[in-house]
Amino acid sequence: MKPAADDPRPILALVAHDEKKADLVAFCAAHRAALARYRLVATGTTGGRIAEALPELEITRLKSGPLGGDQQIGALIAEERVGGLVFFVDALTPHPHDVDVKALMRLAILYDIPFALNRASAELLLRG
């Protein structure tokens, strides 16, 4: 499901590798007021974890990353509908869908959207 097109808030996409999901949930909890300014979209499992912990945040859940969720976010980026991407990456664990992850990163770079890979850069993104 795509976020409503008639909502004027910019889309912020949220993604986290399994080993970083708890960190992203903690980040969202610490910044819930700032996140409410965005239409939030997330890959399936990540979105589920955020929604469970923070039911007050509206979040559109896409498919799980390996099942096409990364590509769904990539499509939103290519449609120039995403205002920023927060992707908490686990750099120490191999990921079978690494090709999808790299494609998502490439689109974020190509379309010149703010792109945070860790908590420090995500905090800077929200300040902007």
- Residues labelled catalytic: 70
| C-alpha to C-alpha distance for 56 and 115, rounded to whole angstroms | 24
Query: Coil, helix or strand for 5?
Result: coil
And the tokens for 56?
A: 């007050």
> Which element (helix H / strand E) includes 51?
helix 44-53
